[in-house]
Amino acid sequence: MKKPNPRSINMNTSKKLFYIFGGVSLLIFLLVGTVIYAYVKSAIVEIQESNLRETSHLVKRKIDTIVNLSVKNNLRSVSRKTESLIRYYYEKYKKGEMTEANAIAKIKEHVLYGPYGLIGETGYIALVKDDGLLFVHPKSEGVNIKGVNFWPQVETVLKSEEQEGYIEYDWKNTGETKPRRKAGYITCFKPWNLIVWASSYKSEFNYLINKSDFREDLLFAGKSRSGYTYVINTDGELVIHPEKEGENLSSHDFAREMIAKKEGRIEYYWQGAADKKPGLKTAYYNYIPQFDWITVTCINHSELMAPLFFLRIFIIAGIIAATAIFLIISLLVGRLIAGKIETFQSIFKIAGTGDLTRQYSSDSPPWFQDEIDDMGKVFNLFMGDYRDVLHTLRTITDKIMGLIQSLASLSQETSSTANQQAAAVKEIVSTMEDVDALSKSIEKKITEITKITENTQFMVKNGFGKVKENITRMESINTANQTTIDGIKFLSEKIDNIWDIVNIINSIADQTKIIAFNAELEASAAGEAGKNFQIVATEIRRLADSTVHSTNEIRERITEIQKSSDRLILTSEDGTEKIRDGSRITREINDLFENILGSAEVSSESTRQISKSINQQVVTFEQILIAIKQIAEGVDNIAAATKETAGASDDLSGVSEQIETILKKYTLEKKPAASGHEADSRNA
């Protein structure tokens, strides 16, 4: 086998550590750098977009404030002028120059139809009583508004020190379908308990706003290196823009999206006057319903991401520096580990020649030693134990050689004895096989006898059942015969009763004949008048004779029936006696069958017990036969094992000689003659 070059192993180990640790560290640093960059990027973008969003809201609030101030100032001016008008007519009323009704009529005329009557397009002046009644109103005069949801604002103004103020509310005039947002300014005129209410819908105050008043402030609000604020209306026209004011952007998709959504965030490409090519812009936009404007605050995406440029440079430089440091450390550690592995390789190479006296020695100071040095100490302990094992093995080999010789002699004696035992066991096996065959033959005969006994028992049980059935039928016949005899006797009694009836009939017939004879005599004495009566009497006498004749026949028939009944009674009584004899014989047969059935059951049970015993005996003989066969196999195995033992003894003898030859190759103790420098380098 070709042995490896120690130098090549050292270099390979160092390179492996260098590439593995270097690659892993680079991946870790790249992963950490990517996570840090993604997190910081997300935070910076969020901050930048938050500033952009706040700037957009600030612009909207600024325009709202300008609008509200303009509306408030305008309404306050109108309300105060109207209050001055009312005061003027009130003074004239107080001076007596006109009546109160005329003064109020004049005020109404000015408020509803004069120059005070219109604010913007649909705004107006209303005079309201402090109890909420619309005293003067162009559309809803006479309506009480104290219950509306904005009345608490009115009460707050009335309770203030100035008793005037600005309010906003939703209002729906008579005939309108839905309320709209209104702005109002109210002042109080206490003498007549009137509230002067100047109001108009906020969307109608566009004419009050001059965009030049806040254009520069609006453009400056979102100004940065590439960012600015502009205003676009819902027709797509740029109302305010630093470069392209007045142009129409309705052909651009981003403009149409902003017009449709009114508020939100959008990204789009735009090329300014100083730009060489279109750049990506991020913008936030808000809707101002009073002017139907959309304020847009935008910034270039590159400016939004500018803070990330230095972050990327810092992360890349950090990854390169950390990876380089880690690679240098990996290279140094790899060389240190490779040197220690080379020391181990040198020891293993010397041990391969048979010299087991070399030990590992570390060149590192104790505080710088590592797991490889600990492994070297364990290796020294292992080599010491291994040398002890070889010493012990050499001693054991010598003892084995002596034991093998004794084992060979003992194996020969055991083989002779085993052969004799095998012959004896084979004779026993032959005898047991004959006994087993005889037992199985007996088992078969007993099984046949058991079947015959069980069949006999079954037939006896059937015969016993028939006998019991015969006894039951004989008892039924006896009962039926006795019932017949009782019926015949009852019939004889009834026949005797018929005799009495026949005698009565004969007596009546005799008396009838006497009566008929007397009637004939009376008829003869009566002459012609009794002729018909004589005929009747003759017929009666003839009927009486017929009755006597019939009763005689009945008497004869009854006599015959009585004789037959007597004979039937005698015959039935004789049959009853024979039935009793049959029942007695049947019971004797039943007793005989009971004895036979008992004997059959005892015989069947005894046969089963014998069969069971024979079966157990057969099983026992089979087990004995199996055991003896196993003993025979064991004896054969012992004989074979004895032969194998003899062969193994020869093999062990050869192996022991080989082990002895191998042990002679190893040097287990140091030679006394060794140079001082070499001895120091080998000691642990």
Read off the pLDDT of residues 555-572 as tens digits, 9 standing for 90 and up. Answer: 777 887 877 777 777 777
The mean per-residue pLDDT over the stretch 188-204 comes to 86
Please state the rounded mean pLDDT for residues 593-606. 71
**Residues with Cβ < 8 Å from 281, sequence gap 6 or more?**
267, 268, 269, 270, 298, 299, 300, 301
Q: What pLDDT, on the 0 to 100 scale, is given for residue 307?
A: 73
Which tens digits make up the pLDDT trace of 24-49? 877 887 888 788 878 777 777 777 77
Residue bearing the bigger pLDDT, 87 or 245: 87
- pLDDT for the residue 257: 92
Contact indicator for 425, 632 with CB cutoff of 8 Å: yes
pLDDT at 300 over 80: yes
Rounded Cα distance between 334 and 682, Å, is: 24
Q: Under DSSP, is residue 215 helix (H, G, I), strand (E, B) or coil? A: helix
Q: Is 474 within 8 Å of 579 (Cβ atoms)?
A: yes
Q: Six-digit token pair at 378?
A: 């364990």
- 58 vs 163: which has the higher pLDDT: 163
Task: Tell me: pLDDT of 675 over 60.
Answer: no
Structure-model confidence comparison of residues 83 and 465, the more confident one: 83
Name which of 165-174, 248-257, 262-271 the model is least confident about. 165-174
Of 147-151, 422-426, 503-507, 578-582, which has the strongest mean pLDDT?
Answer: 147-151
Q: Does residue 169 register a pLDDT over 80?
A: yes
pLDDT class of 7 with cuts at 50, 70, 90:
very low
Separation CA 600–CA 456 (nearest Å): 7
pLDDT reported for residue 515: 81
Element (H, E) at 136: strand 134-136
Q: Which CA distances in Å does 484 have to 361, 572, 575?
A: 135, 8, 11
- To which CATH superfamily is domain 211-305 assigned? PAS domain (3.30.450.20)
Q: How far is CA 132 from CA 3, 136, 180, 187, 654, in A?
A: 114, 12, 20, 14, 131
Cα–Cα distance, 359 to 681 (Å, whole number): 9
Average pLDDT of 387-397?
75
pLDDT confidence of residue 9: 43
Element containing residue 164 per DSSP (H, E): strand 164-171
Looking at per-residue pLDDT, the higher value among 20 and 641 belongs to 20
In order, the DSSP letters of 244-288 are TTT-B-TTSHHHHHHHHH-SEEEEEEE--TT-SS-EEEEEEEEEE
pLDDT mean across residues, the chain? 76
Q: DSSP letter string over 504-544?
A: HHHHHHHHHHHHHHHHHHHHHHHGGGGHHHHHHHHHHHHHH
CA distance 224 to 306: 13
Q: Fold for domain 386-663?
A: Helix Hairpins (1.10.287)
The mean per-residue pLDDT over the stretch 181-185 comes to: 87
For residue 7, which of 342, 291, 303 has the smallest C-alpha distance?
342
Closest CA to 589 of 456, 453, 470: 470
- Per CATH, is 1-209+306-352 categorized as 3.20.20.80? no
Q: Bigger pLDDT: 213 or 612?
A: 612
* Domain boundary assignment for the chain: 1-209+306-352, 211-305, 386-663
Fold agreement (1-209+306-352, 211-305): yes
Residues 6 or more apart whose Cβ sits within 8 Å of residue 655: none
Angle value at C-alpha 50, between 46 and 51, nearest 5 degrees: 125
* Three-state secondary structure call for residue 238: strand
The pLDDT score that the predictor gives to residue 507 is: 81
Sheet containing strand 124-129, strands side by side? 134-136, 124-129, 194-201, 180-189, 164-171
